[in-house]
Amino acid sequence: MDRKILEITQTAQQYETALPPLPLIKPLERPLASYLDCAIHDPDSTPAMVEKLCEEAKQNQIATVFVNPIYVSLTKRLLEGSGVHVGTIAGFPLGGFPTRIKLEEAKLYLSEGADEIDMVLNVGMLKAGEYQFILDEIEQMADAVHQRGGLLKVILEMVLLTRFEKIVACLLSKAANADFVKTSTGFSKGGATVEDIDLMRRVVGPPDVMGVKGAGGIRSLDTALQMINAGADRLGTRLATQILQEYKDKK
């Protein structure tokens, strides 16, 4: 077994028994909108729906608009000069794609204007204990994305993982130089939970070391604030505008 993999496995075993303390979090140290990514990944999403989402994102200065890959160039054009970033997905939503396909996806989408790539982890290979495969894939993706000036988030699909697998996935993503770990695609059996955000933040360390993104089922201000308090830097939701309005109404 590779030395790095051995160290990751041993650390995961230690963390399974006792997680590190939660790093110091400064909730809402910046505008709430900067924590939010608005997303539309429905198979029946249309250009008109993307245009509407981009207009809302610009009005509210939401961090990133995530769209299906076919709409990356359109989204880039609509958001030009707004300060709102463009995001899309690779290996979505199952993760079980050959690495070379994920790499070609990322390179193409970045060339068309994407700033951020959210890649789905190969859950089956993780469960099979093929940790070297996982590490190599994320490293290759991170290198490809970073060379083109982008950010890479690794979607772990936490609902499908055991506690040990969650910890290993976080440690592998960190060791491979990904920028974020992310809870969910929103297309599986469950979405983000406060407990998973807490675990991810404890495993990867403070926000200046690695980001944590929650996604799936974030439909209210209360849920969003709980996740930010637990350590989330970003939250993916199709209801970003409504959450911001709820926040404004309570101020």
By annotation, the residues acting in catalysis are 118, 182, 213
| CA 145 – CA 151 distance, rounded (Å) | 6
Minimal CA–CA distance to 123: which of 100, 92, 149?
A: 92
DSSP labels, 130-164: -HHHHHHHHHHHHHHHHHTT-EEEEE--GGGS-HH
| CA 58 – CA 79 distance, rounded (Å) | 7
Tokens of 172: 């592998």
Tokens of 85: 């970033």
| CA 170 – CA 155 distance, rounded (Å) | 10
Tell me the β-bridge partners of 116. Answer: 87, 151
Residues 46 and 74 sit within 8 Å (Cβ to Cβ):
no
| CA 99 – CA 120 distance, rounded (Å) | 11
| CA 76 – CA 50 distance, rounded (Å) | 11
